[in-house]
Amino acid sequence: MSWIHDDRGSALVLTLVIAPLLLVALAGVLQLGALRVASARVRAAADLATLVAVNDQDDAELARSGTLRLAADAADVAREFFARELALSAPLLDRAADDIAAGADVVAYPSAPAYDARTGARYDRPTVRIAADVPVRTPIFGALVLRPVTILHVLAVSSPR
């Protein structure tokens, strides 16, 4: 039983055990990092889309009554720009940007106060809201026996000031 007390080669064994664990950690860091980037981009896409939609005011109404009122096509503009922004991150997405934007719940509340049926929120100004589920590719998670596609839930609300 002298081999039990012989520690020659133990560092080699330890390295061979730790190396795969570190490889998995590296893969996880890369995938989580990519997912964070994707999440930030999707959130920014929805935020920008709602901002673009509410920044376009009904000028005639503003001149007539001094009231901020959304343009009639605010919801369409929000959806169009959501698709445009998502298209810039197409390699990260599991579906076409147009499909994701088409399936998004985009609502414009042209006058205030208004109540959001989805979130229960009360809006005291004209508002555009986007709620969407965005599927993002996570192939390394897939290789690690997790989900190869991760769904990001995004909610963006903008009102003019």
Partner 1 sequence: MATLETTFAITMLVPLLFSILEFGSALERWLAQDAATVQAARYAGELGGDAPELRVFLAEQLRVAGIDPERVSVDIVPSRVGWREPVRVSLSSAYPVTIPFLFSTTVPLRSSAISRGEVNR
Binding site for partner 1 (CB under 8 A): 8-9, 11-12, 14-15, 18-19, 22-23, 25-26, 29-30, 33-34, 36-37, 40-41, 44, 47-48, 51-52, 55-56, 59, 77, 81, 84-85, 88
Closer residue to partner 1 (CB): 45 or 114: 45
Closer residue to partner 1 (CB): 53 or 114: 53
Closer residue to partner 1 (CB): 10 or 120: 10
* Residue 23 Cβ vs partner 1, minimum distance, rounded to whole Å: 6
Closer residue to partner 1 (CB): 83 or 107: 83
Q: Give the number of other Cβ atoms within 10 Å of residue 64's Cβ.
A: 10
Residues contacting 42, CB < 8 A, separation 6+: 86, 89, 134, 136, 152, 154
Say how far apart CA 104 and CA 89 lie, in whole Å.
17
Q: Which of 59, 56, 61, 44 is closest to 128 using CA atoms?
A: 56
Q: Are 70 and 159 in contact (CB under 8 A)?
A: no
* Residue 32 Cβ vs partner 1, minimum distance, rounded to whole Å: 9
